[in-house]
Amino acid sequence: MDLRCVACGERSPHDPLLLSCPRCGEALEVLLAPEVLAGKPEFAGRGVWRYGPLLPGGPAVSLGEGDTGLHRCERLGRDLGIPRLFVKNEGENPTGSFKDRGMTVGISLAIAAGVRAVACASTGNTSASMAAYAARAGLPAFVLVPAGRVAAGKLSQAVAHGAAIAEVEGSFDEAMELVLELARTRREVYLLNSINPYRLEGQKTLAFEVCEALGEAPDAVVLPMGNAGNVSAVWKGFQEFRALGRIGRLPRMIGVQAEGAAPLVRVLRDGASECRVERPETVATAIRIGAPVNWRKAVAAVRLSGGEAGTVTDAEILAAQRDLARLEGLFVEPAAASPIAYLRKRRIPEAATVVCVATGHGLKDPDAVGTAPVRRRRVPANLEALRAAFSEVWPGSGAHGLPIGS
Residues that bind ligand AN7 (CB under 6 A): 97, 122-126, 194, 224-230, 286-287, 333, 335-336, 359-360
Q: What's the closest the beta carbon of residue 15 comes to ligand AN7, in angstroms?
A: 23
Q: Are 29 and 298 in contact (CB under 8 A)?
A: no
Q: Which is nearer to ligand AN7, 74 or 169 (CB)?
A: 169
Beta strands in 203-285 (DSSP E): 220-224, 252-258
* Helix, coil or strand: residue 88: strand
Q: Which is nearer to ligand AN7, 62 or 203 (CB)?
A: 203
Beta bridge partners of residue 3, listed in sequence order: 12, 30
Q: What's the closest the beta carbon of residue 288 comes to ligand AN7, in angstroms?
A: 9
Any idea what DSSP says for residue 389? I
* Helix, coil or strand: residue 96: coil
* Helix, coil or strand: residue 57: coil
Q: What's the closest the beta carbon of residue 150 comes to ligand AN7, in angstroms?
A: 9
Q: Are 355 and 88 in contact (CB under 8 A)?
A: yes
Tell me how far apart the alpha carbons of residues 218 and 86 are, in angstroms, rounded to a whole number: 10
Q: What's the closest the beta carbon of residue 286 comes to ligand AN7, in angstroms?
A: 3
Q: What's the closest the beta carbon of residue 245 comes to ligand AN7, in angstroms?
A: 28
H-type helices in 280-354, by residue range? 295-304, 314-328, 334-345
Q: Which is nearer to ligand AN7, 68 or 126 (CB)?
A: 126
Q: Which is nearer to ligand AN7, 56 or 224 (CB)?
A: 224
* Helix, coil or strand: residue 174: helix
Give which of 145, 146, 143 is closest to 171, Cα–Cα. Answer: 146
Q: What's the closest the beta carbon of residue 136 comes to ligand AN7, in angstroms?
A: 18
Q: Which is nearer to ligand AN7, 261 or 351 (CB)?
A: 261
Q: What's the closest the beta carbon of residue 359 comes to ligand AN7, in angstroms?
A: 3
Q: Which is nearer to ligand AN7, 10 or 167 (CB)?
A: 167
**Cα Rg of the chain (Å, integer):** 22
Q: What's the closest the beta carbon of residue 99 comes to ligand AN7, in angstroms?
A: 6
H-type helices in 221-313, by residue range? 229-243, 263-268, 295-304
Q: Which is nearer to ligand AN7, 97 or 205 (CB)?
A: 97
Q: Are strands 28-30 and 3-5 parallel, antiparallel or unpaired?
A: antiparallel
What are the C-alpha distances in Å from 192 to residues 86, 195, 253? Answer: 30, 8, 25
* Helix, coil or strand: residue 12: strand
* Residue 315 identity: A
Give which of 41, 206, 16, 207 is closest to 114, Cα–Cα. Answer: 16
Q: Which is nearer to ligand AN7, 62 or 194 (CB)?
A: 194
Other Cβ atoms closer than 10 A to 131: 28
Q: What's the closest the beta carbon of residue 52 comes to ligand AN7, in angstroms?
A: 22
Q: Which is nearer to ligand AN7, 285 or 390 (CB)?
A: 285
